[in-house]
Amino acid sequence: MIDRILNYILFAYAIAIIVFVALQVTTKIRRSVYGFMASINLLLSYYLLYYLSFRTGVIARFPFMAYSDLPVICALGPMIYLYVVSITAKEVLMKRWVRHCALPILVLCYVIMHRLWIGQGIVSGGRYYPSNYGGFSIYPVALLVFSVYVAYAGGTLLKLRSVVIAGQCGRIREIRTVYYFYMVHGAVTLLFLAAHLMRNKRFIDIMTVMNGSIALYYLLFSYRHPEYTQRVIREPKKVKRNDLLPSTVDADEVMNRLMTLLDIDRVYRDPGITIHTLSNTLDIPSHHLSHVLNKRMSVNFRTLINTRRLEEAKRLLAEEPGKSVLEIAYEVGFNSKTAFYRSFVHETGLPPAGYRAKVGKKRPDF
């Protein structure tokens, strides 16, 4: 009875994770953080289904899948690390991505060749849980994979910890949330690997379900609070600079080009816009743009962008009653319902729906 319940739980977790990934990859926003997060969850859902195939005996019908968990586990470490890098730094370059994924690809090739040359392995031996990396040909690879995963897990925690300690994060609560989550994940992962080394079937069951539970909770949390887990949450350390603009920078020209980007191109609609991306578009250093905003408009970059977004949101709420509040929030550049509501209420004193109702009553009928 317990085994059947565990089977249902594992299957439900895997399907739920796949559904969330499908929702995530259909978003209009294309950034590396989304790709890495989707990759992590796809790999984890595959492992859950793979482990379920052992528990139910389905693996016997597909013996070629044996040991396919090794490249999956090997790829999980780099994907988690690159995901954390992508939310605490700049976009991850393709060259860096390929370098970290080289080993999982090599392990996958080795497993394929092993299956072609050696044959049934764990399935033909009648063993039904994936801890029997039997034989000299596969056991060293399994140890290598587990070691790589532990190394990447440690590197991920050190990366997050260095950002927190260095004070390079403007939103310390967000980075600490991710840090604490991966501390829990790291502890569960160590117990999971220990269960494999001990070949304790029940212990493996418990740790697999716990891993699935943690992943599903993180997905639900990400869906509810994408500002914590799905955008760059690191800001560069502030450096004191000269308060004067160099003679080569024409403040009037910068203002004219900036107004064009805001009024015509509506760059504030990009949820990933930062002062660095905008200054690159204007072809000036970010601290020069910050100086122009402070001196000419008496605002900082974040206030300017939020003000523009809220102005357009108010216009859309009044002029397009067919659009939902959430659609308008995403359209004007907010990447979460919570952030939009908080900013809108702070600006107008009313929730978006209340503002729409109030403005609708004031409009004359023709």
At 191-210, the pLDDT tens digits run: 877 877 777 778 888 888 88
DSSP alpha helix (H) spans, 26-127: 32-56, 69-88, 94-118
Answer whether 146's CB lies under 8 Å from 160's CB.
no
Decide if pLDDT at 90 tops 80: no
pLDDT of the residue at 236: 43
Are 341 and 310 in contact, with CB atoms under 8 Å apart? no
CATH architecture under which domain 251-362 falls: Orthogonal Bundle (1.10)
Q: What angle do CA 64, 145, 215 make, to 5 degrees?
A: 85
Q: Which residues contact 288 (CB under 8 A, 6 or more apart)?
A: 245, 246, 249, 254, 279
Q: Contacts by 111-118 with C-beta closer than 8 Å and gap 24+?
A: 111/67, 111/68, 111/70, 111/71, 111/141, 114/67, 114/138, 115/63, 115/64, 115/66, 115/67
Q: What is the phi/psi pair of residue 232, to 5°?
A: -70, 120
CA distance 74 to 142: 9
Pick from 149-158, 220-229, 322-331 the range whose average pLDDT is largest. 322-331
Entry pTM? 0.58
Question: What percentage of the chain exceeds 90 in pLDDT?
Answer: 12
CB 351 within 8 A of CB 345: yes
Residues contacting 195, CB < 8 A, separation 6+ = 131, 203, 204, 206, 207
Q: What is the dihedral of CA 214, 219, 94, 111, to 10 degrees?
A: 50
Yes or no: domain 2-229 corresponds to CATH 1.20.1070: yes
State how far the Cα of 21 lies from the Cα of 222, in Å rounded to an integer.
11
Q: Are 245 and 292 in contact (CB under 8 A)?
A: yes
pLDDT in tens, 32-49: 777 788 888 888 888 888
Q: What is the mean pLDDT of residues 11-26?
A: 81
Instruction: Supply 145's token pair.
Output: 């994979």
Task: Report whether pLDDT(256) > 70.
Answer: yes
Q: Sketch the domain layout of the chain as residue ranges.
A: 2-229, 251-362
| Cβ atoms within 10 Å of 356's Cβ, excluding its own | 20
Please give the pLDDT value at position 91.
Answer: 56
Judged by average pLDDT, the poorest of 25-34, 97-106, 255-264, 272-281 is: 25-34
Query: What are the CB-based long-range contacts (under 8 Å, 24+) for 81-86?
Result: 81/152, 81/155, 81/156, 81/159, 82/32, 82/36, 83/33, 83/36, 83/37, 83/40, 84/156, 84/159, 84/160, 84/178, 84/182, 85/159, 86/31, 86/32, 86/33, 86/36, 86/232
Q: How far is C-alpha 61 from the geometric centre of its chain's CA atoms?
A: 35
Alpha carbon separation from 101 to 74, 75, 180, 297 (Å, rounded): 9, 7, 26, 46
Assess contact for 242 and 43: CB atoms under 8 A. no
Which tokens belong to 335?
A: 């990447």
Q: Band the pLDDT of 310: cuts 50, 70, 90.
A: very high
**CA 294 – CA 300 distance, rounded (Å):** 6
| Angstrom distance (rounded) from CA 188 to CA 169 | 27
Residue with tokens 């504030």: 268
229 Cβ neighbours under 8 A, 6+ residues apart:
37, 87, 177, 178, 218, 221, 222
User: CB of 75 within 8 A of CB of 43?
Assistant: yes
pLDDT band at 313 (very low <50, low <70, confident <90, very high): very high
